[in-house]
Structure 1
């Protein structure tokens, strides 16, 4: 394969596609093991919207056998970056990095309105806590009117939009400290999931940890997936600086997408990343006092399943908190939320969400547990807030810890 090339773009100026910067195109052996794992392929049945089809199309462009047509670009842009194909791929291809580099090089040339809106929000709103808070306050004010329109299930639940008390910067354990942890507050999650951050910090302090909670800030995961690669790296570097400013034993990230991104940007001497439930399951200090009634499905987030994050240790502690755990059919399939995918591909996102809802109904579960903010918002929209819970909410209720 060559290096940087100018290729023809239908209806637009030439586009620079750098084969060196878009890794792994030559490594695909076209085995098709990725197809059963791909949510967009399941939803559309189109080879062009599968990992194998995307790689073949992009390789054809780089080898100058085709141009970046609307059809090719549409197939590439429809990728959720759920990373399920990465776990199935015998060649070890990182679709996450491939899509990030493709979007980085094509965003300014082929960006439609939704992509432009996504870039604007990431650059000028989500990365700035005060602006983000003002934006979410506006959504809260407008939400009663917005909820009368079709598609309102994508709006955050009312209780998510209400302002919450600030999270203390330091929580000390009542006795001898096991060690020190720092917790990522995040960007959107800091406003919509602040209650969960409160609960996580209190659960860890009760278990004997000294808990540090740095200022809110974006980790850059959303930027990376949107093709704003340098911005994603810059935000990750800032978060690592904040989270490891003091000597900490663990960095706790209760958002799988954020945790996966920070893990990919981690230096060898940085503290390990974990989540609240996994840390409590591994180190102890948590005792369930009661079991939540009903049949509960546990939806492990895609970026926890298909990265180097621990996706299994915390399951047992969640199971100890519920009356019965049931398995979801196709457990590893995405719910379709995928960060800001809702903005770029609303129709396909909802279709994949509907398929996830059908799997839930087949499981005969009463409620679901999911440890990623975007996934939980999707499940709350599908099932209602009372039937979709974050793992730290389950642990808090089971141990008698009341929300603030």
Structure 2
């Protein structure tokens, strides 16, 4: 048996002991993506002194909002950063699936990553906390939280080693309330719109012991995903343990949120393009199946189709825009996914790749060829019709001019 296999066996044994209750207590941490959304019209900022000052003012508002929340028992003092500017904004996209007009379908907004994360402690009776899909197993009445405007880590202490489903969800309510009180919005980003577990599907576990992996490793399944074992011992001070875990993983989670935004944007734009392409094909079918002169009913059909030319032009313009957006989002996805994988590898997190769904299967299955063909065909037919009507108009003008000349 090789050295790596032996080490893995020892780690597996340590994990089994932990899960069976032999070792404990332990800290359990859950990462999530909660975006600090700035008001509409906010301009992008990138690690400048102005961005740092703006971040400081936003942090002060958030701290005041947390201070008055009865569920928050302590807000920790912000550490002073004099030489490093971390604050910046990231551009994210949102889509209104109900919008018919393409101009109202897509919009961008700015998210602020704070210069220094906000750290606070929440205490809520177990009976007053939300539960995940009816599973009544809330593990603690107290949570320690760190949030940087993009990624959030929620940590609690437990003496038993059984994994739970409902731990930490109350923190999302606290963040949303604090952001709203401060004049902003906190938007929780789950792995999908249908997912009730708003965290990344991994419980990060830190425990005391003599044997730990040299990197973060996946230990097995839990009710909401998998367990992840940290490569370090449990700190006696829970705040130190929280910040240590946060600094190891938060940057990867920040970039992961950007990768997921690109994937979700591609999916939303593809759905819109397919819907509009179907509408365009239906218009073309209606034109092709309409009765023609000298059929007396052709006037009725022509009246029904009277607005279709303008609608076709609008759909065509929207589809060309959609194709451009998809290409742009796909290009951004490829750039950010490569960066994300590099960050995982550089920080010893590559074994955690399975817990981050970066949409590779969705991108691989993306096929817009039918939409492009329909778009090109419809554009050609539209051009032909425009040329036809322009020719008729020119001929009519020439005839009119000849008539006028003949009458002089």
**TM-score, normalization: structure 2?**
0.22
Q: Whose Rg is larger?
A: 2
Work out which structure has the larger RCO, using CA pairs closer than 8 Å and 6 or more positions apart in sequence.
2
**Which protein has the bigger strand share?**
2
TM-score with structure 1 setting the length: 0.22
